[in-house]
Amino acid sequence: MKKIPIGVSGRHAHLSQEHLEILFGPGYELTVMKDLSQPGQYAAEEKIDVISPAGKLQAGVRILGPVRKASQVEISRSDAIRGKFVAPVRSSGDVKGSGACTLVGPKGQVELTEGVIVADRHIHFSLTDASEFNVKDGDVVSIKIDGTKPGILENVLCRVSDKFALDCHIDTDDGAAFEVQTGDSVTLVKKYQIIE
């Protein structure tokens, strides 16, 4: 079966235009550093500091663009433990009742009452790729990882859109545990049997 490219996502922030302007100044626009795997998405040159309610600093968190309707910060579980952040596992954009933090930029700061999450494992499928892999939006599958520390990762959400390109996203904790990095590939697993 066709392999799925994998991207290991480091900690990052998405900002609303309102918050971007508070942090960097009125009328500010993000500067594209490099394009990401999903069409129209990019890593910006700009970074911010993120402070947990316990006062722990996570310095130099990269902003991803373009701007969104609501701001959010995506970190790993390791980041959450070290920084004493509350960060439930959520899909991007699902921030209701998630963790709080303070965002600090060169021109100001923003208090987020919610918005800190550990992003779920997910695969982006175009409509064509979804048909080829026989999955639909919202399906939950597993992936098989080969290499020096192979294994199977469960509970991987399928996201399907005509705006997506095929790519599986995991965080740095999963990437380190299985010794995979951006550019490696994985195999889709719909069913497997545990022999007891």
Q: pLDDT at position 183, please?
A: 94
Cα 170 to Cα 35, 138, 141: the distances in Å are 18, 17, 14
Q: pLDDT at position 55, please?
A: 97
The 3-state DSSP class for residue 123 equals strand
Least confident range from 20-24, 84-88, 189-193: namely: 189-193
Q: Provide the residue count of the chain.
A: 196
pLDDT in tens, 65-87: 999 999 999 999 999 999 999 99
Of the candidates 192, 172, 165, 148, the residue with the CA atom closest to the CA atom of residue 4 = 165
- Residue 191: pLDDT band (50, 70, 90) is confident
Can you give the residue ranges of every domain in the chain? Answer: 10-119, 122-189
Q: Which long-range contacts (CB under 8 A, 24 or more apart) does 90-96 make?
A: 90/117, 90/118, 90/119, 90/120, 91/119, 91/120, 91/122, 91/157, 92/14, 92/117, 92/119, 93/68, 95/70
Global pTM reads 0.92
Provide the CA 121 distance to its chain's centre, in angstroms.
8
pLDDT in tens, 45-66: 999 999 999 999 999 999 999 9
In the chain, which ranges are continuous DSSP H helix?
17-24, 77-83, 127-133, 172-178
Taking 80 as the threshold, does the pLDDT of residue 94 lie above it? Answer: yes
Cβ(194)–Cβ(31) below 8 Å: no
CATH topology of domain 122-189: Barwin-like endoglucanases (2.40.40)
Taking 90 as the threshold, does the pLDDT of residue 194 lie above it? Answer: no
